[in-house]
Amino acid sequence: MKPQHVLAAVAIAAAPVLALAAAPEPLPAAWMLTGQSPQKFVAGIDQDPGARGAKFLRNQAGDANAWAALAQQFSAQNYLGLRVRFRAALKTQDVSGWAGLWMRADNRAGRTIAFYNSADKPIRGSTDWQERSVVLDIPADAATITIGVICNGKGQVWIDRLGFEPVGQDVPVDVLPPDRVLLAVPVL
């Protein structure tokens, strides 16, 4: 085989590998990157066969003290006075701090009136897909609800198979222990 034919064959064989390493798709418009240091993170839609279509949040700066969140915000109008559950499947890789789901309700003035961020149920290290949820009561004066996933420290978290639904009063509300309440609330 001539050298140029060998190079062409190698290039053709490598094409699928290069396609897998391609840049991730950008997030849909409804999603935003937020938190203390969003500039230290990258987010998108994974194209890897093991997580295809899942959204991800990755610390690209390697700063173990940085945190960011992927968030989606919507009107609370249809959920006023209800108990709701936000659920999703999460997967992590090399998370040095912690990762988890979070949910918040804000009033018209932008003040947070209900909040939970999974700091008391952290996911650390590398994990396979696992179902997680957050349950909150949405106050009658809520204007917006924000849901998402947080990554604190180095590593990456994926989120997929999201759901949001009203639940009965028999489902317990998630409450942060007093020693965790002072943790930063993801800001938009």
pLDDT at 18: 40
pLDDT at 188: 55
Domain range enclosing 139: 24-180
Structural domains in the chain (count): 1
Residue 8 domain flag: no
Residue 16 domain flag: no
- Which structure tokens are listed for 143? 């204007």
**C-alpha span between 50 and 45 (Å, rounded):** 12
Residue 86 domain flag: yes
Residue 162 domain flag: yes
Beta-strand pair 41-45/112-116: unpaired
pLDDT tens per residue, range 97-108: 999 999 999 999
Residue 185 domain flag: no
Contact 98, 69 (CB under 8 A): no
pTM for the full predicted model: 0.82
What CATH number is attached to the domain comprising 37? 2.60.120.260
159 pLDDT higher than 50: yes
**C-alpha span between 167 and 135 (Å, rounded):** 8
pLDDT tens per residue, range 67-96: 999 999 999 999 999 999 999 999 999 999
Give the number of other CB atoms < 10 A from CB of residue 69.
31
pLDDT tens per residue, range 11-34: 444 444 444 445 678 888 899 999
